[in-house]
Amino acid sequence: MQLSKWAYGLAESLLAEDLPQRWAHSRRVYDQALSLAPALGADAELLTAAAIAHDVGYARSAVDTGQHMIDGARYLRDVIGADPRLCSIVAFHTSSPWEASELGLEEALAEFGPAEPELVDAITYCDLTSSPAGELVDPAHRLAEVLERYGPEHVVFRAVSAARPELLERVARVRDRKAEAAAARLS
């Protein structure tokens, strides 16, 4: 749990005071990652570290491109020297590829690839089951809330609209993995 503990302290230092709602969301994403540990095996700690740090790109000291996923990954890599796999999960979480495409940042995102599909699925599940205020939420409702918050003229709205079917498929794959892991523990 050293990596998770380190990432928790880092995210708290960057988000808790200046972005308390983002910090509440990140803590719930972290809790959701902890719940996936039985399904992730050796990658469980890596995911929990990525979960708590997934939104550090919103911190003032991390903003670079304006796309928080890439900015967070760059901050973790360039300022902190974090594990490349951790940086990749942060870079590719949720709708990042779609946002990067909208913003012309495909090359910047490619700095962190290739993405690991199972871990990207897992971080997406954790993110989409966590409300902006840190409450558990249905992923379809979470996506609807994002669309409503940003509105049709915003890049996030366009990216999430395009990504929505794939994002919900990711959530379904993780739910299946979680159920399989639970069934295996019972047998």
Average pLDDT, the chain: 96
Tell me: pLDDT of 185 over 90: no
Q: 53 with 86: CB under 8 angstroms?
A: yes
List Cβ<8 Å contacts ≥24 apart for 173-176.
173/121, 174/36, 174/39, 174/121, 174/122, 174/124, 174/125, 175/125
- For 54-91, b where at least 16 C-beta lie within 10 A, e where not — what string? bbbbbbeebeebebbbbbbbbbbbeebebbebbbbbbb
Domain boundaries, the chain: 2-182
pLDDT of residue 183: 86
Question: Residue 184: is its pLDDT beyond 90?
Answer: no
Query: Residue 10 pLDDT more than 70?
Result: yes
Mean pLDDT of 160-183: 95
| 155-171 pLDDT per residue, tens | 999 999 999 999 999 99
Say if residues 133 and 145 touch (Cβ distance below 8 Å). Answer: no
Stretch 101-106: mean pLDDT: 97
pLDDT per position as a tens digit, 40-96: 999 999 999 999 999 999 999 999 999 999 999 999 999 999 999 999 999 999 999
CATH code of domain 2-182: 1.10.3210
pTM above threshold 0.85:
yes
